Amino acid sequence: MSSKRSRPGEIHRRIIEVMKRFPDGITGGQIREELEKEGLPAGEQTHLDRRKRDLKKWFRIEKVIEPRDIGGVKRRVAVYRYKGDRDQVLDEGDIGLRLRAEVIHSAHGRCEMCGRTIGRHGIVLVVDHKLPKEWVGTNDRENLWAICEECNSGKKAYFKSVNLDPVLMARVMKYRSVHMRIGELLKAFGIDRPVPSYLIEIVSGESQDDWKKRLRELRYPPIGWEIDFRRWKDERGKSRVDYILRKWLPWQDDPSGEIRRFEKEREARNKARDELTSEEPLDPSTETDS
Ligand SMILES: [Zn+2]
């Protein structure tokens, strides 16, 4: 999400011209053949795949896996179709080509947000910062994912609608306590504002099981926050989870320490109770939300 802009080069334009001549779609091999017929310089041929990947910055290219007759054999191959120019240059900024390729590759053709695939749905994947760059989201691998163009624009629209202060967000990331980072993120969105779970995960810097536990711990009596969650299906049927802050209280000096102390005391209490009775301990704060 940087503002770095670039323009298509000569070779990009030539690939597009070839694609336009094949409105039903053209394979990578055919593009190469067509360009060779036109006398493509040998030096350019080795970079053709990369050039082809670059195209989506300026043009809408549909890539679909289709059965094609290749030298008399039916094979499923990637077929490209030119769909038009973009109004705005896709904003993938300064993520290195190798890293970008790695992110796209490990998505296996599937949008990591909605689950639709290149093969079945004709989506185009873009590399996106989970935590936007304006909020000090990094170019680190764990902050990048491959999502489809529709999810990407939906995400941008949502972030625009919540209108968060980048300075505030940068401050959120500076807290050393994971509880405070999660809590301050929820506060930044505000009371009753849904916060997508992928954002909490990235801000927490922890694995899914761990951040969910940290979030539940904010509901413990020493912290006393009220946080709801909602599970919903997006328009493509993919299950999503948001967390919603209902009430927050000012932090104590060491919230993470307070939580650990509370857990220790509760454990000791439960143990003492177990020794007195054989009944299962009933403690509402051990409820899980999954
Ligand atoms: Zn998607």
Residue 154 to residue 255: CA distance in whole angstroms: 35
Mean pLDDT per block of 10 residues along the chain (290 residues) reads 58 90 89 86 72 80 84 86 71 74 94 91 92 81 92 88 81 88 93 92 86 95 96 83 96 92 92 74 53
Residue 60 to residue 82: CA distance in whole angstroms: 6
| Gap from CA of 21 to ligand 1 centroid (Å) | 29
| Gap from CA of 119 to ligand 1 centroid (Å) | 13
pLDDT value, residue 286: 52
pLDDT value, residue 160: 83
| Gap from CA of 123 to ligand 1 centroid (Å) | 8
Closest listed residue to residue 127, CA positions, set 102, 156, 108: 102
Dihedral angle, C-alpha 169, 171, 174, 178, nearest 10 °: -60
| Gap from CA of 234 to ligand 1 centroid (Å) | 10
pLDDT value, residue 2: 38
Q: Beta strands of the chain (E only): which ranges?
A: 26-27, 59-70, 73-85, 125-129, 144-148, 194-196, 226-233, 239-247
User: Contact, 127 vs 113, CB < 8 A?
Assistant: no
pLDDT value, residue 281: 55
Residue 218 to residue 179: CA distance in whole angstroms: 7
pLDDT value, residue 284: 55
| Gap from CA of 113 to ligand 1 centroid (Å) | 5
pLDDT value, residue 65: 84
Name residues whose C-beta falls within 8 Å of residue 270's C-beta, 6 or more positions apart in sequence: 281, 283
pLDDT value, residue 1: 40
pLDDT value, residue 136: 74
In order of 29, 49, 53, 81, 290, the CA distances from 32 in angstroms are 5, 10, 14, 15, 51
pLDDT value, residue 43: 67
| Gap from CA of 222 to ligand 1 centroid (Å) | 39
Q: For ligand 1, a single-atom ion, which residues have Cβ within 5 Å?
A: 111, 113-114, 148, 151
| Gap from CA of 56 to ligand 1 centroid (Å) | 16
